[in-house]
Amino acid sequence: MKYLLIHLFLSPCLAHAASKLYTGFNYGSFWGTEANPKKKSDFLDGFNLARNLTTNTPFDTARLFTCVQSGTKNDPTEAFDAAVESKTNLFLGFWISPAQKGGSPSINNEMVALEKGFQKHGQALSDLIIGLSVGNEDVYRAEASGEIGLTAPIVGSTIAQVKKNIAASSFSRYMASKPIGHVDTVKYAVVDNADFIGITVYPYWNKDSIDAAFTSFQGSVAEAEKRAGGRPIWIAEMGWPTADSTQHGAAVAGVGQLQRFWKEVGCWVFSRYTTFWFELVKDSTPEQKADWGFVDGKTRAAKIKDLSCGGAPKPSSGKDKPVSGTLPPLSSTSHAVSPAPSTVAPTPSTILTSISPSPSLASPPGQSPPHATLTSTTTLTPIAIISPSPPYGPSPETHSSVRFITLEATVVITTTPTVGVTTKPTPTPVKPVHAVTLTVVENSYVTIGAQTVTAYS
């Protein structure tokens, strides 16, 4: 019996922590201004509208920027009520930037609002929560745009404080094992104490043409992956506007551009990362001149005609999606203006082996073909060995679970019959060359705790 060892070295771009991927839209807490807050009916309408889009990937998750109902001090957002009723998953947000420059992070009212939400809904709300972002683009505002925000060290310490406060709260059991991280532009997204790295990626704000959008987007994600230290990347915001009163370099707003961005970039992202599109229906602040709404507010129909992704079948669960592909080593930064996982046991990939006659395989010039005596059918038993690559270093127990992807490979072993092993070809007629073809069929992915992964066969 001969054994073929296949070592799968996976780059960080293929390692994601969650066993499920989630897809949805960003939802602001008010319509244009805080004087016009969204109510339960508004959230419910949006959640159902998103869920009913004819997409291959169900948009059944909502990203919120705050847990506080707009217009109140610390009442829970009515999005909680709408989510529980519609069974919409939630990516929660704490708005932590202070009211004035130089102020301290604000988390008390967010904590109270979340506590009230759990007091009302309990486990029903907990079951829908996929994670919590402490802040949104705070570092970008503080360090790049000159607006009110927070520095990276302060955001990192605030995340640690939020984790500590939640652990000591009356609702700690409802938030147990929920990842807590931060969302920011790619350049500023990596902060301390974050369980995931949430990024906002906009080739449009980067002044890239729609022709360059895919490369720009991939480059931004690759840059985030490189600096994330093995932590999963969540695409917290992405999109393309259909109208804008201002020209941004080579970027042009339009329905045609949105269609291309959806097909070329969106469809690439949906099967790889937890993703949130900005936005379902235009609800951003007045100073945001561009219209990022994916759905027309009047017709309630998607602005683009083709929402499919290459004819891919709909996932059976709507959550589990295979991941494939790597990212090029490009880099770019982008920014946006926005309003205020269980693991499964590892299973080897499907292996198909066969021995069959094949056409003569030419040898490289100046190189003699190998010689062997073929006497019987040879069976190859592959043993798949997974070796986690960096950044899983000295302390893997501190990292989240990592998803390993099955790959495709073909190994061809050619044999030429001879009259015994010899260094010279025999004068006897040579029979057709036989080939042994091993095909590793990509059929699944597995999620393994980083602290326990060694090998499987």
Q: pLDDT tens for residues 389-431? A: 444 344 333 333 334 343 333 333 333 343 443 344 444 444 4
- What predicted TM-score, i.e. pTM, was given to this entire model? 0.67
pLDDT for 164 beyond 60: yes
15 confidence band (pLDDT: 50, 70, 90): very low
Active-site residue list? 137, 237
Q: Is the pLDDT of residue 26 over 80?
A: yes
> Does any domain span residue 47?
yes
Mean pLDDT calculated for residue range 268-279: 98
State residue 156's pLDDT score.
Answer: 99
- Identify the domain boundary among 259, 277, 295: 277
pLDDT digits (tens, 9 = 90+) for 65-77: 999 999 999 999 9
One domain, residues 214 and 83: yes
Give the model's pLDDT for residue 451.
Answer: 39
Average pLDDT, the chain: 76
Residue 287, CA distances (Å) to 246, 337, 339 in order = 12, 9, 11
- Give me the pLDDT at residue 310, please: 76
Residues 270 and 362 in one domain: no
The more confident residue out of 452 and 230 is 230
Which residues form the domain of 247? Answer: 20-277
Residues 6 and 66 placed together within one structural domain of the fold = no
pLDDT > 50? residue 202: yes
Residue 161: pLDDT over 80: yes
In this prediction, residues 38-67 reach a mean pLDDT of 98
Question: Taking Cα atoms as reference points, which of 108, 189, 186 lies closest to residue 155?
Answer: 189
Shared domain for 92 and 234, answered yes or no, is: yes
pLDDT of res. 285: 83
Does residue 140 lie within any of the structural domains? yes
Q: Is residue 402 part of a domain?
A: yes
Domain match, 146 and 232 both: yes
Q: Where are the alpha helices (DSSP H) in 230-332?
A: 255-261, 267-270
Question: How far is 149 from 155, CA to CA, in rounded Å?
Answer: 10
Angle among Cα 143, 146, 148 to the nearest 5 degrees reads 90
Percent of the chain with pLDDT over 90: 62
pLDDT value of residue 172: 99
Taking 90 as the threshold, does the pLDDT of residue 273 lie above it?
A: yes
Nearest to 337 by CA among 304, 292, 368: 292
**Confidence (pLDDT) at 19:** 57
Say whether pLDDT at 368 is over 80: no
